[in-house]
Amino acid sequence: MKNFANTEFSPEVIELMTTALEAAIATLPEPVHSSHVNALAESILRTAGAGERNPAALQRIALMELQLAPRH
């Protein structure tokens, strides 16, 4: 995971990010790979760090980024 050590979020924003992450993970087919969860979490952290606070938008952006990510 990328370094987010200098990033701070309020408890309310953490709750919004958790909601977005859980909703995004729920849309993935089983089995869900940890690399996908990490990619979603990084996207949500980055997007929330840029000021987005809508859980649906956080989820949508994270899922789009996951789709666009290069496959290994």
Q: Does some domain include residue 53?
A: yes
Task: Identify whether 23 is part of a domain.
Answer: yes
Residue 3: inside a domain, yes or no?
Answer: no
**How far, CA to CA in Å, does 48 sit from each of 6, 14, 16, 33, 70?**
14, 9, 9, 23, 23
Task: Look at residue 2 in the predicted model and tell me its pLDDT.
Answer: 65
- DSSP for 8-31 reads ---HHHHHHHHHHHHHHHHTSPSS
The pTM for the full model equals: 0.89
* Structural domain harbouring 56: 11-68
Q: What is the pLDDT of residue 16?
A: 97
Question: Whole-angstrom Cα distance, residue 63 to residue 66?
Answer: 5
User: Which pLDDT score is estimated for 72?
Assistant: 59
45-56 residue pLDDT tens = 999 999 999 999
Q: Report the sign of the C-alpha dihedral through residues 43, 49, 51, 54, in that order.
A: positive
Rounded mean pLDDT of 48-69? 95
51 in a structural domain: yes
Residue 69 pLDDT class (50, 70, 90 cuts): confident
